[in-house]
Amino acid sequence: MLGRAAALRRGLQVAAGGTRGPDSGRGSAQPARLDPALLGLLVCPLSKRPLRYEESTNELINEELGIAYPVVDGIPNMIPQVARKIEAEPPHPTGEESKQS
């Protein structure tokens, strides 16, 4: 009974952990996901505003400032100097490099 529950839980974790195993999808091995317990705690160290977790790129995104913090091996790197610049969402959508993945 308990064993089955544990197995089920493990199954769920695997599902939540996303595709693991032999290099699935786009060339690079799928990186470890963000620890869900952290999502409710993390904010942008600069603006102290909440972040959006973008699963496809495995990044935490501050849309206001247009920066993305990478999650490497399941560890979010919240150092602004390391963050990637992306195009800020709301302000002028005209011109400039539109480098959105």
Partner 1 sequence: MAASIGAASCRALFCRSWGKRLSAAGRLLGGARGLAAQGETHLGFQTVPEAEKEQRVYQVFESVAKKYDIMNDSMSFGIHRLWKDILLHQMNPYPGTQLLDVAGGTGDIAFRFINYIRSQREYQLRQKLKSHQNLSWQEISKSYQEEALKPLGGSQVVICDINKEMLKVGKQKAQHLGYTEGLSWVVGNAEELPFDDDKFDVYTIAFGIRNVTHIDQALQEAYRVLQPGGRFLCLEFSQVNNPLISRLYDLYSFQVIPVLGEIIAGDWKSYQYLVESIRQFPAQEEFKAMIEDAGFLKVEYRNLTAGIVAIHSGFKL
Q: Pull the structure tokens for residue 85.
A: 């610049």
CA–CA gap between residue 101 and residue 64 (Å, rounded): 17
- Specify the stretch interacting with partner 1 by CB under 8 A; choose among 21-29, 39-47, 92-100: 39-47
Q: How far is CA 4 from CA 11, 12, 52, 55, in A?
A: 10, 12, 35, 30
- The residue (of 73 and 96) whose beta carbon lies closer to partner 1 is 73
- Specify the stretch interacting with partner 1 by CB under 8 A; choose among 20-28, 38-46, 86-94: 38-46
Among 4, 26, 48, 99, binds partner 1 (CB under 8 A): 48
Regarding 2 and contact with partner 1 (CB under 8 A), the answer is yes
- Length of the chain, please? 101
Among 17, 80, 85, 93, binds partner 1 (CB under 8 A): 80
- Specify the stretch interacting with partner 1 by CB under 8 A; choose among 17-25, 40-48, 88-96: 40-48
Regarding 37 and contact with partner 1 (CB under 8 A), the answer is yes
- The burial of 85, by beta-carbon neighbours within 10 Å (0-12 exposed, 13-18 middle, 19 or more buried), is given as exposed
